[in-house]
Structure 1
């Protein structure tokens, strides 16, 4: 038999996926190497990566497997999860994702591979969806403004606390009040944030607020065990004593409950999960954040605003970007540099598809079923702690623990509140049959609730004063797309306005927009992963537990670290978690004087913002003329501050796109004074398989799984930012108070609402590493370096390369220096970025880390053909600039300053430009075959900020 099967076995190619992930084939590889004067990839890598850091820790990974084998292996793992009917609540509820949205958004690379809308002219679809999201949140919360989403509800609550302190000038207090019925995971994240800000947390009954002098307060609406509390009186007390009130609201309940803004709230936060987004063992979901207009300059996150383009046409953009980290650095309002775009959009489309009447029907039905269950339980002799509720009952029972255990045997999970009570939360998926099944757990006898539901329909579980008055979601955009045909076409219309990876390469330096393979994405929608509640008993989540353990081992092999924490659900949160681990480590040694964080001038803006969040003082270290950390200045800073230094945050390879030769010397210098080395993991795509930060001196790194490890950017989110740490820091990573995380201590604090962050997207990274295997992850890095150097070689005769390594090669990205061109021609980096849209490309990273530059990172997934297409576009642009330099084209009337060009431009009967329509819109031959049209011309940023509108305009403008 073995002889018969052996030919079949030989025909299976376990490395097949590697060739599908990596763009260049063998012929292209040799051609590119020849251009670089190298014979082999190894020659190039030897000339590029310093020998002293080379370390192939990834050899311990398993060998690569096929897509089918990896999916089968993961499916076996997923099947170990026992998905019971969840009644746990605490902010997480089962829901239905409408299939038209599932197929056309969540499973569609046109939506999930797009980049953050920093180039708004080719992101109008996502921006319109996010504007709709803001409008939805404004309608439901009754507030003036809302941002375009946060990472989760708990993080939003922590940000609300921080913003309350920033804007409350009337209170001198350093204490913050948290109502004692706030979700426990929210309280945990708030306590962690408060500890490092130096705030005191008072957790008490809201009725006692008047007894406390606090700058802000948080109340849950509805409470974690279901009580619908009349918060109006609470808010009035707060206002009387100059306390800013944040309301944590349940988004579905707001369909029936009075808007918190109408009751006087200052900030309203919550989570959109139950609007069509699977629980996913904790995420990803989108937190929402709404606030008064007076606080807009101090708000965290991104805000989408309405502006106009150069022709006066309505256009959308990210407003007030001067608040963000890359501008304000350690003075930023928050270190959060992303949002949860894809998840915010899913929830918005859910609301649009159902419309206000559909949402009312869902919310009313959930409430009716809850009232039916309440009546049945009371008839059976059980008491309820709260007579007023929306979807959650707090049931008093001396045998609460036994009832919870019995529920599990009947295929359901209740929430054990304490020894004498439990809670049951209903949701969109609950049926009358489910109510009958719940009652069997309590009474051990069948029941029929259908007749009872009729009798309770006219009863009231919501206080009359809190019943919502007035219409919700009245804008036409929420009342126009209820048929699948209409919804399908609307989604396609938005998608067609955007450039994503399904159109062209997105060559953004430091952002690694690589292939997000379909095989990696498929498991995200498996119900075995999606329908798990994050606080389900861990013995029901054995598949997830195995996934976490295996992924942690994989990431350890990729980084050289000894332990991995998967909790941070964004790169910014990874930075924060890593710095907290460092801080806790020094506290354990009694070295409280270590309060300084050294950060190179070229660092990402989140680095200094994260440092200030843990109350560290930022000291900037200079960079030398080659873009490296200035060793002389670093030595002087170490000499000056010595044992006051807690950490150095350094990006490697550097943000300037080179492998610094002295990284080991830098690490040794820091360690010589007992300080820790934080290696920012943004550029891990140049390291995996070739070098490991944990081996060349790093003590901790965050890993952008949405970059190097293939979780897609989703138009600006979701992200994941786990941290790797050396053994001495492992005891100080974040824990979780509800769902214990193995080998962690809750005393270290909690970073995210869910114990393993956005758990349901971790299968993406697992699939990537499993299919690439020990050989593939190394090849990916080698090709990322090859592609970057090939592009640098092709472009350097036309645009100077600002920095290069010792042998003249760059790492996985390079900086084009446009400053001489701008001086000679007046053409700016922004002009080039906008002109690239006419060629069908998203621009590289603009003016970071050096003003007047473009930073290009092609990744390993692009073929030579696509690299050449981009290079041809850039060279053509350089030739256009030459015409401006020579005076052939006026400085104020040429294709660059007029870019991008829309259909409106080329159809204009009054064409008064010194270049042709074809030169405007189809400057290279390939554009005759396929053209992606920007839908608006260059957007007026100043107008948008001066005339701030962050809600939906009239439908006439919308459809114009």
Structure 2
């Protein structure tokens, strides 16, 4: 057909890059479903009563080139100075191989949380390295695979101490060292107040160990003091209290470990292990504890088990998806954490090894000692006498003068009180930096780097070994390190290999163009507490992003402080709680939550001190409105809120959502709409219009921030106008309301991803993405409905952006479990959909809008093949135990080893859906979860242990 000028369409990111199916493919898919147009499908799927009346419109979508140009202009408004502010954030150098092969590598940043261990062995090993690193440096038995930030980790430790202490005190008071970082104290206070915990802030010497259930100490202190807390910890233990130490991880290369002081828990940040400050995050916090407290530790723990052949295999241990099991009785609402950043930190330790880490720590300390000596010789009083990397200088009325002089030299110092200046050095500090600091104090002096002074406390010098495992003693030639990272990446299955059809998790395209600004120094190298005039670019971006998110959601204000979806839930409920208290209704403490809700919902409600009242689901999976109304009336005087997910957790637009919201409001409650399924609403319906008062948004789902193998995430909350003044605040901005995370804007260095996505898509593109997400889900449902019952649909027979496939009949008739189906999908090169949630024995599938028809068909072909194999078992054509489903997944060892199975190697390893020459091979066979829990190993074990396990 001849080309005509009118056939030309301008370049369009949404329809050329982000949205998977082509227009022709969409037409074919619509025909399969039984519709002529996409809008007809949407009209049949989304109830008219909830459709938004105005289209999203903030101008035309930007091209990739224009978006990067615009973002660079905004980023350039940030002033990148050398920040020596400290307070838990430090300059660091990301080794170039780690930057290129992990942080900028989609094989690492597009992976999901390792709930399917057979296809996650690479990142599980890297996270086990992280746990080993933390356990070694802290001197404690077991560590988790990271938490959100140091301040929230400290708050988690307080809650953990509250659960685990056997103190004779009334368990209502927690002691906080006044030398803790200010943001840590603030977040602890925020967490403590709803739980009825009294926070006592004082000097460690003032501790009354018999009057508290636990205490936290900062090591070194925020102003540089290095204190031995052995006596305070012993006093706490005498009264059966719990001791927490918040420790700078680099300092532990030189200083006595918290474990050697007797600490029960250690927390901190691994930011200075190669992760840029990023104006506050994301960074991997750590938590380590003693063996006796391991089962009350929040977060994810990586353990070592064996596979079906007895070979070593890694897996998640203990608290895997604990919230969905224990709900409001869960240890924490933390669902995932900062896996990608933990991997970077662990690889930093592998890259440098113990000698390198020690050398970096020594260098930082010596530079600080030389700086202090120069100030003292000039007549300034420097505190403390012994320190690691931080000093405080008395300057009297010259404080403002000194700090301004430092800024003129390109350096930020920290204001301490009204007469002092704080200085924290780091691995990036150069002699010129030290000379510039001296210059700000009026000292003309040259730094002599050959002067190796030490000002560490003699009684606290570390004598114990750390990082002794062979993994930290690898040949550090770049070739070997690079190959190690590549080997680990090859063991995993991430979005760069295949669709990850996880219901409710929205594993969509994380476009490369959106990722590029993340590593720009203008975004990466800002300290979160630098002067506001140095972060004008950040503030412009955040303001514009917030404005667009308000348009998308129908809310009036957005807070970017929550640095995960679970944190967003918590922050949203705190906002409602603050609102009720401001109206003299602090007694409202009942939260209505459907039984099908995300497990983090009831856990979050518990964290704000509320009582959870579950709401039944009807036969179609919808909220039982009669039960909802009855319980709202019963608890009317104390109703604080309801928490609902929309579209529903089971993937349907419920027509009663406005009725549910109205019932809640009629009884004085507020409506929290979980934003996990916002990918089905953008441009079509706004939670703020249908009755929602507050919602969190998963920017790591709907708005394209990658999951990173289990974090980072961002969970900002949108609120209606009446709640805006009750949002969590931050002391750095003078707010009287407490913060929920360490930094004022959570994890702002990943916000450019979501901002770029919105700029590139435009309002029309975002709306089209939502429509295609619904199309893709309905196409899968249509193709698979004869093989697997679609558990829930709307009255029109449609699903929203996800559908639930019922695999229970296969188990009932042939003993084929949902696990068997999930593991067999690996042989076809797919991550399994969400298993057994919200209904046990089912698979919840969400293809998103990013997957083209070929990939959807490949998945459907694999699922249909599995159904056929299951039918062979049901019909007795193949043994019920010795079959491809029970032995899945199959590895290369299966392919080339001895074969005594009643099906062929080809059927085993090359089922429909696999990519032939590009087939993904899992690193291990099916992992033995029970063995892993019976033999809990959560640090890197010696190789001989694997041999013993195999035997």
TM-score bracket, normalised by the shorter chain, equals: over 0.9
Give the drift of 1:235. 1.9
Give the drift of 1:8. 13
Partner of 1:35: 32
Map Cα deviations across residues 423-467 of structure 1 (whole Å, 9 max, x no partner).
000000001111111101102x431121xx544x2x431111111
Partner of 1:824: 813
Residues 160-199 of structure 1 aligned to structure 2 (within 5 Å)? 160-171=157-168, 172-199=170-197
Please give the alpha-carbon distance, in whole angstroms, between the structure 2 residues aligned to 1:360 and 1:763.
35
Equivalent of residue 290 in structure 1, options 288, 291, 309:
288
Partner of 1:786: 775
Give the drift of 1:231. 1.8
Per the alignment, do residues 559 and 160 of structure 1 end up closer, same or farther by CA in structure 2, a change over 3 Å counting? same
Partner of 1:695: 689
Given the two structures, how large is their TM-score scaled by the length of structure 2?
0.98
Partner of 2:904: 916
Equivalent of residue 840 in structure 1, options 829, 852, 866:
829
Per the alignment, do residues 844 and 925 of structure 1 end up closer, same or farther by CA in structure 2, a change over 3 Å counting? closer
Please give the alpha-carbon distance, in whole angstroms, between the structure 2 residues aligned to 1:739 and 1:277.
25
Per the alignment, do residues 376 and 11 of structure 1 end up closer, same or farther by CA in structure 2, a change over 3 Å counting? farther
Partner of 1:3: none
Per the alignment, do residues 412 and 790 of structure 1 end up closer, same or farther by CA in structure 2, a change over 3 Å counting? same
Task: Note the aligned Cα RMSD (angstroms).
Answer: 1.6
Please give the alpha-carbon distance, in whole angstroms, between the structure 1 residues aligned to 2:392 and 2:405.
17
- Whether 1:767 and 2:756 are equivalent positions in the alignment is yes
Please give the alpha-carbon distance, in whole angstroms, between the structure 2 residues aligned to 1:629 and 1:925.
37
Give the drift of 1:411. 1.0
Per the alignment, do residues 22 and 925 of structure 1 end up closer, same or farther by CA in structure 2, a change over 3 Å counting? closer
Partner of 1:597: 591
Give the drift of 1:233. 2.4
Partner of 2:929: 941
Partner of 2:324: 326
- Whether 1:755 and 2:744 are equivalent positions in the alignment is yes
Per the alignment, do residues 874 and 236 of structure 1 end up closer, same or farther by CA in structure 2, a change over 3 Å counting? same
- Whether 1:435 and 2:434 are equivalent positions in the alignment is yes
Equivalent of residue 862 in structure 1, options 836, 851, 859:
851
State whether residues 476 and 955 of structure 1, in contact with CA within 8 Å, keep that contact through their aligned partners in structure 2.
no
Give the drift of 1:212. 6.0
State whether residues 507 and 856 of structure 1, in contact with CA within 8 Å, keep that contact through their aligned partners in structure 2.
yes
State whether residues 688 and 777 of structure 1, in contact with CA within 8 Å, keep that contact through their aligned partners in structure 2.
yes
Per the alignment, do residues 925 and 529 of structure 1 end up closer, same or farther by CA in structure 2, a change over 3 Å counting? closer
Please give the alpha-carbon distance, in whole angstroms, between the structure 2 residues aligned to 1:449 and 1:104.
36
Give the drift of 1:323. 7.0
Per the alignment, do residues 8 and 538 of structure 1 end up closer, same or farther by CA in structure 2, a change over 3 Å counting? farther
Please give the alpha-carbon distance, in whole angstroms, between the structure 2 residues aligned to 1:602 and 1:918.
40
Q: Identify the range of structure 1 (588-597 vs 918-927) with the bigger mean alpha-carbon deviation.
A: 918-927
Report SS of the residue matched to 1:682.
helix
Partner of 1:879: 868
Map Cα deviations across residues 862-881 of structure 1 (whole Å, 9 max, x no partner).
00000000000000000000
Give the drift of 1:10. 12
State whether residues 507 and 843 of structure 1, in contact with CA within 8 Å, keep that contact through their aligned partners in structure 2.
yes
Please give the alpha-carbon distance, in whole angstroms, between the structure 1 residues aligned to 2:616 and 2:930.
32
Equivalent of residue 551 in structure 2, options 543, 546, 557:
557
Please give the alpha-carbon distance, in whole angstroms, between the structure 2 residues aligned to 1:887 and 1:722.
53
Map Cα deviations across residues 74-132 of structure 1 (whole Å, 9 max, x no partner).
10000000011111000000110001000000000000000000000000000000000
Map Cα deviations across residues 586-644 of structure 1 (whole Å, 9 max, x no partner).
00111122110000010000000000000000000001111110011111111211131
Give the drift of 1:579. 0.2
Give the drift of 1:956. 5.9
Partner of 1:400: 399
State whether residues 61 and 557 of structure 1, in contact with CA within 8 Å, keep that contact through their aligned partners in structure 2.
no
Map Cα deviations across residues 642-690 of structure 1 (whole Å, 9 max, x no partner).
1311111000000010000111111111111121110000000000000
State whether residues 396 and 422 of structure 1, in contact with CA within 8 Å, keep that contact through their aligned partners in structure 2.
yes
- Whether 1:588 and 2:582 are equivalent positions in the alignment is yes
State whether residues 297 and 323 of structure 1, in contact with CA within 8 Å, keep that contact through their aligned partners in structure 2.
no
State whether residues 162 and 171 of structure 2, in contact with CA within 8 Å, keep that contact through their aligned partners in structure 1.
no
Please give the alpha-carbon distance, in whole angstroms, between the structure 2 residues aligned to 1:501 and 1:322.
22
Residues 335-354 of structure 1 aligned to structure 2 (within 5 Å)? 335-354=333-352
Please give the alpha-carbon distance, in whole angstroms, between the structure 1 residues aligned to 2:156 and 2:15.
42
Partner of 1:722: 716
Give the drift of 1:9. 15
State whether residues 14 and 65 of structure 1, in contact with CA within 8 Å, keep that contact through their aligned partners in structure 2.
no
Unaligned runs of 5+ in 1: 1-6, 741-745
Per the alignment, do residues 57 and 325 of structure 1 end up closer, same or farther by CA in structure 2, a change over 3 Å counting? farther
Please give the alpha-carbon distance, in whole angstroms, between the structure 2 residues aligned to 1:9 and 1:212.
82
Residues 435-514 of structure 1 aligned to structure 2 (within 5 Å)? 435-443=434-442, 445-450=443-448, 453-455=449-451, 457=452, 459-514=453-508
Please give the alpha-carbon distance, in whole angstroms, between the structure 2 residues aligned to 1:265 and 1:884.
55
Equivalent of residue 246 in structure 1, options 244, 247, 257:
244
Report SS of the residue matched to 2:186.
helix
Report SS of the residue matched to 2:208.
helix
Q: How many residue pairs align between the two structures?
A: 943
Partner of 1:522: 516
Unaligned runs of 5+ in 2: none
Report SS of the residue matched to 1:918.
helix
Report SS of the residue matched to 1:679.
strand
Partner of 1:539: 533
Equivalent of residue 928 in structure 1, options 908, 912, 916:
916
Report SS of the residue matched to 1:422.
strand
Map Cα deviations across residues 218-253 of structure 1 (whole Å, 9 max, x no partner).
100000011111222222232233321100000111
State whether residues 773 and 847 of structure 2, in contact with CA within 8 Å, keep that contact through their aligned partners in structure 1.
yes
Please give the alpha-carbon distance, in whole angstroms, between the structure 1 residues aligned to 2:155 and 2:855.
44
Partner of 2:57: 60
Report SS of the residue matched to 2:683.
coil
Please give the alpha-carbon distance, in whole angstroms, between the structure 1 residues aligned to 2:175 and 2:216.
6
Give the drift of 1:17. 4.1
Give the drift of 1:925. 7.1
Residues 139-178 of structure 1 aligned to structure 2 (within 5 Å)? 139-171=136-168, 172-178=170-176
